[in-house]
Amino acid sequence: MAGVQKSVLIFYSAIISFLSGVFLYSFFNFGIVLPGLLLCASVIPLMFVIAKRSHTAFMVLVCLIFMMLGCIRVLAVSEVQAPFVSLSGNQAQITGEVIEDPDERDTSLHVVVRTHEINGVESRGVLLATLDRNSDIAYGDTVRLTGKLQLPKAFETTTGKVFDYPGYLRAKGIGATMTFPKLHIEKHAGFTLLGPLYSLKRALEHSIELTLPEPAAGLLEGILLGNKAALGNSLYQIFIVAGLVHIVVLSGYNLTIVSDALMRVSSRFSKKMSLSIGAVGIILFALMVGGGATVIRASIMALIVIAARALNRPAEVMRALALAGAVMVLQNPLILTHDPSFILSFLAAFGLMTFALALENKLSFVPEMWGMRGVVSATLATQIFLLPALIFYSGQISLVALPANLLALPLIPPIMLLGFLTGVIGLIHPYLAFPLMIPAWALLSLVVFIANTAAAIPSASVTVSGLQSPYIFALYIFLVPLALLAYNKTTSHEK
């Protein structure tokens, strides 16, 4: 047992040290100096390990080596703006390929293009082009863009926060932007793996729009396909004020909650069937929205939560969560500080796995019918653990989020099921989907009513200014040990 505990301690020490190195160098780049110092410092504990086989010295050695590797991993990230720096603010002609599904907005279309040539010279980079919303462009198309090339700049949001837009795009590998350039398209005629998935997504969107009235159709597209633009700006703002925006934003937050709710609601079936429903629901969702990097990361986090229920060995699942997070950061170290989706996905999974069961044991007064107690505990767990991060990213706090989520989240699993079936059957003919459309429309309308009612309450949302990252760290220094304490108490039967 002692050997196992030592191995676990080494495992977590290595991961925390690696992430610490990545985190440190994401803000303060000391070049090769710090990794060199860490390498030199590791010689001392290495001598103690060789001479005295000291376990403490070995732990120090592991921490130094993995922190050094974290620093080096950030140094190895290529500078995404390099191909565009000399042309910033100037007219340029770019030839490239669309590498993601175009993102529809209210009045525009955001398209990510991998460049092949810039002004006739071979050049490799990635830029974000803002095009007319009606542009007939799809994943895999070859495009020629002519317009002014710009490097992204930080900007101030409506809540007074400064948004690090360059860092956000850099985490996605994007180095420059181009707004409403002249566009020439060569349609892609070959086969791609993601092409049929994106086509299915578009077909489902069209089917939903033909079958359901607004705003139910837009809300279903947001919940089912992650298309938040379909909701419309005014209703989207209402969902922000009500604290319900996470159900229409593609992240691990809603995936984790929904997967857990699916399993709770299906708990009347066998445990194997319940877990299968949750896993299949996540996989279908990932396929429908195209399986991009953000979706894959969010899906992995949600599947780990399912594994936590499938295995009666939560300690191992916690290690799987830590390892998954570390591997994702190893693949792209910039997501640790600049990708809100990854951060919220990880925090949601961690909070759900540590807090939810402890809260469920305290909520004996909540009925268990249809998994209601589990849904409530999962909602509370994620809301508590995500609150500091959500305030940091949005710059505001919804004072009605908790009751709004408790009312709305139990409706999401049946909405996803009925909405998916409505959309699929509607592909054949909208009239055939009518029997399923009615209950789907009723539930979607109820969610809209909950959001409107919550947002209409005076002072439903409060702007929070001045909450910088050090304060967020301080809050999580308090929350993480509290979560781990709750986790240890609820899993003490393993020991």
pLDDT, residue 292, reads 60
Q: Is the pLDDT of residue 253 over 60?
A: no
Residue pair 323/452 in contact by the 8 Å Cβ criterion: no
Is 328 a domain residue? yes
Write out the residue range of the structural domain in which residue 116 sits: 85-186
Mean pLDDT within 148-156: 87
Distance separating alpha carbons of residues 376 and 219, to the nearest angstrom: 22
Distance separating alpha carbons of residues 212 and 443, to the nearest angstrom: 12
Residues 303 and 445 in one domain: yes
Q: Which of 57, 75, 93 is the last residue of a domain?
A: 75
Residues 362 and 444 in one domain: yes
Q: Is the pLDDT of residue 337 over 70?
A: yes
> In terms of DSSP H, where are the helices of 266-313?
271-288, 293-310
Is 322 a domain residue? yes
Residues 252 and 290 in one domain: yes
Residues 222 and 281 in one domain: yes
Residue pair 176/149 in contact by the 8 Å Cβ criterion: yes
Mean pLDDT within 18-46: 86
What three-state secondary structure class fits 470? helix
Q: Give me Rg for the CA atoms of the chain.
A: 24
Distance separating alpha carbons of residues 101 and 290, to the nearest angstrom: 8
> In terms of DSSP H, where are the helices of 194-270?
195-211, 216-225, 233-242, 252-265
Query: What are the Cα distances from residue 486, in Å, to 335, 477, 481, 482, 489?
Result: 28, 15, 9, 6, 5
Residues 414 and 458 in one domain: yes
pLDDT, residue 445, reads 93
Residues 384 and 322 in one domain: yes
The number of folded domains in the chain is 3
Is 15 a domain residue? yes
Is 192 a domain residue? no
In a 13 Å sphere around the CA of 347, the CA atoms on its Cβ side amount to 22
Mean pLDDT within 463-487: 76
Distance separating alpha carbons of residues 267 and 232, to the nearest angstrom: 35
Mean pLDDT within 111-118: 90
What three-state secondary structure class fits 176? strand
Model confidence pLDDT, tens digit, residues 203-234 = 888 899 899 998 998 888 888 777 777 778 78
Residue pair 249/237 in contact by the 8 Å Cβ criterion: no
pLDDT, residue 484, reads 81
What three-state secondary structure class fits 104? strand
Q: Angle at the Cα of 392 (from 389 to 393), degrees rounded to 5?
A: 90
Q: Is the pLDDT of residue 187 over 80?
A: no
Model confidence pLDDT, tens digit, residues 255-295 = 665 666 666 666 666 666 766 777 777 776 676 665 566 67
Question: For residue 443, what pLDDT band results from cuts at 50, 70 and 90?
Answer: very high
Q: Is the pLDDT of residue 494 over 60?
A: no
Residues 281 and 353 in one domain: yes
What three-state secondary structure class fits 351? helix
Residue pair 432/426 in contact by the 8 Å Cβ criterion: yes
Average confidence score pLDDT of the chain: 80
Is 90 a domain residue? yes
Name the nearest CA neighbour of 281 among 268, 297, 262.
Answer: 262
Q: Angle at the Cα of 16 (from 11 to 17), degrees rounded to 5?
A: 100
Its pTM stands at 0.77
Is 191 a domain residue? no
17 is written with which tokens? 């040290």
Residues 100 and 123 in one domain: yes
What three-state secondary structure class fits 128? strand
Mean pLDDT within 51-73: 88
Residues 38 and 119 in one domain: no
Residue 157 gets which letter from DSSP?
Answer: -
Residues 395 and 465 in one domain: yes
- Higher per-residue pLDDT: 244 or 291: 244
Rounded to the nearest 10 degrees, the angle between the axes of helix 340-362 and helix 372-394 is 140
- Higher per-residue pLDDT: 121 or 470: 121
Residues 277 and 152 in one domain: no
Residue type at position 226? G
Residue pair 302/250 in contact by the 8 Å Cβ criterion: no
Q: Which of 25, 51, 75 is the last residue of a domain?
A: 75
Q: Is the pLDDT of residue 28 over 70?
A: yes
Match 């170290």 to its residue by tokens.
333
Residues 320 and 388 in one domain: yes
In a 13 Å sphere around the CA of 277, the CA atoms on its Cβ side amount to 20
Model confidence pLDDT, tens digit, residues 392-414 = 777 777 888 888 888 887 787 78
316 is written with which tokens? 């191992």
Distance separating alpha carbons of residues 416 and 260, to the nearest angstrom: 13
CATH of the domain at 128: 2.40.50.140
Q: Which of 41, 75, 109 is the last residue of a domain?
A: 75
- Higher per-residue pLDDT: 277 or 174: 174
Is 66 a domain residue? yes
Highest mean pLDDT, choosing among 50-64, 103-117, 314-328, 431-445: 431-445
Mean pLDDT within 228-255: 76
Name the nearest CA neighbour of 231 among 19, 41, 451.
Answer: 451
Is 459 a domain residue? yes
Cis peptide before 215 (omega within 30 of 0): yes
Name the nearest CA neighbour of 337 among 6, 21, 10.
Answer: 21
